[in-house]
Amino acid sequence: MNHEFECIIVGSGGAGLYSALETSAGAKTAVLSKLHPVRSHTGAAQGGISAALGNCEPDEPEWHAFDTVKGGDYLVDQKAAMILAQDAVKAVYDLENRGLPFSRTPDGKIDQRRFGGHTREFGKGPVHRACYAADRTGHMILQTLYQQCIKNKVSFFDEFHVIDVILEGNTCKGVVAIELATGVIHTFSSKAVLFATGGFGRIFKVTSNAFANTGDGPAVLARKGIPLQDMEFFQFHPTGIKGLGILITEAVRGEGGILRNREGQAFMETYAPTLLDLAPRDMVSRAIMTEIQGGRGMRGDKKIDDYVNLDATHLGKEVLLSKLPDITDFCKTYLGVDPADNPIPVLPTAHYAMGGIPTDLDGRVLADEKGTPVEGLYAAGECACVSVHGANRLGTNSLLDLVVFGRRAGIHISNYVKTNGAHVLPATAADYARAWVDRLTDGKSGPHGPELSEQMQSVMMEKVGVYRNATQMSEAVKTMEALVKSYEDVRVQDRGKPFNTDLLETIELKNMLDLALVTAVSALARQESRGAHSREDFPDRDDDNWLKHTLAFLDKDRVRLDFKRVDTSIWDPKPRTY
Ligand SMILES: Cc1cc2nc3c(=O)[nH]c(=O)nc-3n(C[C@H](O)[C@H](O)[C@H](O)COP(=O)(O)OP(=O)(O)OC[C@H]3O[C@@H](n4cnc5c(N)ncnc54)[C@H](O)[C@@H]3O)c2cc1C
């Protein structure tokens, strides 16, 4: 079955929906999502969205841009960071005007809280910059945008799982998707396609990410020859619930929560004397692991590693219930602990992909290190790399990235479709997708997906985690290469058509394996420590040799690396101290 639109958006998180709002004003737009839109991971975002509104104390977009660049350990493209910070103010007021119920100051302005790495006057001290709706900011953004898209008559294809993109030469012509309810394969022809498929934390064993975060967009494009940028940089958030990885938002520390070791010491004093617990995430995650490795962690039980405590007891029940109600609830449900009475046991959890599909400032996907755009192909949100997060993203900058660059991509698409004709899809458009599904369901015996998945997640967690070294990463690369090969023989057990989640999970597995391989190869190649990529064998940042973006090209089970310059046109790279 074929469908024709002027613009197809794959993904209905914050990035996809914001782009759809813009494109639907002038172009016939469809949003395809493998989940019901409001189940997208954006809805799980807790802490806030940053913007230098200056509602609680003086603040400037320029300080915000600088913090973003420094937080990203100078691998950030600086003009992009400036746009992010400058457009932030308008973006947040725009969300407010569209109906987002932000938390308020006593005089009725949007309230703001502190978050890691966000400072006043280029690093003098923490600043109140994160706008929030209690600890349900993402939920509110998603609901607001979804309502507005319905109002704009965007066509939604819910539970349509995209498995291929149609690229001819340097032009994107559409996508191929399976409908979950029927198992029917559909083609969608379109003048422009935007990928907004979110992150891929599921390649790691312990993650804050939803089950659906399997990196489908980047993997689909990588298999068609599009490079993936800076894939070695994966953020571990310092405070996941120990053993489970469920996120305890940084807003707990923003509101005054303190990390403590076994002796009760507020150990961030040692690592970041100025910002303390509000240092950037890469530094806090390393500090936790260093405390544990030094024998100063809390003792876990036999099954679970040692951990540290996040102490919010001094904040009081009232603050916890009004500003962090969901966190309070999580702690009670998953740990049987009330954070007003007891500290929360935490460990770093795989959280956010800094890398992804390379784009320019208007969301156009770039095919090479020279920056050649692919006609009609766009990406935005966590699956994209524009690059505003560099080697380490600051908290609350992702929700902002979705809105700012989702909007810019949407505007560019609106103009692009006006001057370009419709595409006719080749008769072979769905062949690749059909052949893949046919192989997985042909009834032959083969290894089962979950076994491969379990191995991938454990090895990535153990060997490409917070601290890395060549020996372990080489082993990880070998394992991923072998798993990518084994996938050729994988078969599903459920061969039915309707609601075949076994089939779709096995397709997602291929996406994760490809991305895990690219991540491990990119990480092994980068012989320095920068942001979230911390190597025991190369402990220093090396600007002479490594101040450059990685571009990884996937060819079956092989990865070729190329590099691209970083835009450092505003601030000279300096060592980071906090
Ligand atoms: C627990 C948690 C808390 C967070 N808190 C914050 C915070 O407070 N502030 C902040 O700035 N950031 C936060 N982040 C990060 C931020 O929420 C995410 O980076 C962001 O929401 C990603 O948005 P997105 O639009 O790119 O993708 P998502 O919201 O993940 O949406 C992806 C969409 O793509 C669709 N999709 C995926 N694959 C396919 C496919 N093959 N076919 C069809 N559709 C597909 C999905 O159905 C979904 O609609 C948090 C993240 C987590 C996990």
74 Cα–ligand 1 center, Å: 25
Q: Which position has the token pair 């493998």?
A: 34
Cβ neighbours for 109, distance < 8 A, ≥ 6 positions apart: 53, 55
42 Cα–ligand 1 center, Å: 4
Confidence (pLDDT) at 303: 44
Residue 478 lies in a domain: yes
356 lines ligand 1 (CB under 6 A): no
pLDDT tens per residue, range 348-386: 999 999 999 999 999 999 999 999 999 999 999 999 999
Q: Report the nearest-CA residue for atom 2 of ligand 1.
A: 45
- Domain stops at, among 328, 351, 374: 351
The CATH number that applies at residue 554 is 1.20.58.100
The ranges of the chain with pLDDT < 70 are 300-304
46 lines ligand 1 (CB under 6 A): yes
Name beta bridge partners: 158.
Answer: 33
Cβ neighbour number for residue 572 with a 10 Å cutoff: 7
CA distance linking residue 194 with residue 20, whole number of Å: 9
Residue 64 lies in a domain: no
13 lines ligand 1 (CB under 6 A): yes
The reply to whether 445 and 548 lie within a common domain is yes
Q: Report the nearest-CA residue for atom 46 of ligand 1.
A: 11
The reply to whether 453 and 557 lie within a common domain is yes
Q: Report the nearest-CA residue for atom 41 of ligand 1.
A: 162
The CATH number that applies at residue 260 is 3.90.700.10
- With b for 16 or more beta-carbon neighbours within 10 A and e for fewer, the 176-198 pattern comes to bbbbbeebebbbbbbbbbbbbbb
The reply to whether 341 and 435 lie within a common domain is no
Cβ neighbour number for residue 432 with a 10 Å cutoff: 16
Stated as kind and residue range, the H or E segment containing 128 is: strand 125-131
Give me the helix-helix angle, 14-23 and 137-151, nearest 10°: 30
Residue 358 lies in a domain: no
16 lines ligand 1 (CB under 6 A): yes
Contact 10, 175 (CB under 8 A): yes
**Residue of 202, 281, 468, 576 with catalytic role:** 281
Range of the domain at 316: 234-351
CA distance linking residue 249 with residue 219, whole number of Å: 28
Active site residue 281: yes
273 Cα–ligand 1 center, Å: 33
Residue among 1, 10, 4 nearest 421 (CA): 4
CA distance linking residue 238 with residue 318, whole number of Å: 25
Residue 54 lies in a domain: no
Contact 218, 40 (CB under 8 A): no
20 lines ligand 1 (CB under 6 A): no
Confidence (pLDDT) at 300: 58
Residue 391 lies in a domain: no
CA distance linking residue 76 with residue 251, whole number of Å: 24
- Domain stops at, among 317, 335, 351: 351
The reply to whether 435 and 346 lie within a common domain is no
The reply to whether 440 and 340 lie within a common domain is no
Counting atoms of ligand 1 from 1, which one is nearest the CA of 142? 29
Residue 84 lies in a domain: no
Tokens matching residue 166: 């149609």
Q: Which position has the token pair 């949007």?
A: 110
Residue 34 dihedral angles phi and psi, to the nearest 5°: -75, -15
State which of 398, 508, 511 you would mutate to test the pocket of ligand 1, scoring each by most atoms of that ligand within 8 A of its C-beta.
398
pLDDT tens per residue, range 52-89: 999 999 999 999 999 999 999 999 999 999 999 999 99
490 Cα–ligand 1 center, Å: 28
Q: Report the nearest-CA residue for atom 27 of ligand 1.
A: 198
44 lines ligand 1 (CB under 6 A): yes
In degrees to the nearest 10, what's the CA dihedral of 514, 516, 522, 524? -130
The reply to whether 345 and 445 lie within a common domain is no
The reply to whether 443 and 335 lie within a common domain is no
Q: How many domains does the chain have?
A: 2
382 Cα–ligand 1 center, Å: 7
Strands 2-10 and 29-33: parallel
243 lines ligand 1 (CB under 6 A): no
286 Cα–ligand 1 center, Å: 25
Nearest 5°: CA angle at 225, between 355 and 367?
A: 65
The reply to whether 241 and 329 lie within a common domain is yes
The reply to whether 439 and 549 lie within a common domain is yes
Confidence (pLDDT) at 572: 98
Residue 240 lies in a domain: yes
Residue 571 lies in a domain: no
- Domain stops at, among 351, 378, 407: 351
User: Alpha carbon of 386 to those of 229, 404, 492: distances in Å?
Assistant: 9, 11, 37
